[in-house]
Amino acid sequence: LHVAPIALKLGAAGYISKDASVEDLLTAVSTVLDGKKYIGPDVADLLLHLDETGPQLEKLSRREFEIFI
DSSP line for 24-53: HHHHHHHHHHTT--EE-HHHHHHHHT--TT
Q: What is the DSSP letter of 57?
A: G
Alpha carbon of residue 17 to chain centroid: 8
Nearest to 12 by CA among 42, 40, 49: 40
Span 28-38, pLDDT tens digits: 999 999 999 99
**d(C-alpha 55, C-alpha 1), whole Å:** 9
pTM across the whole model: 0.62
Mean pLDDT of 37-52: 78
Query: Residue 64: pLDDT above 60?
Result: yes
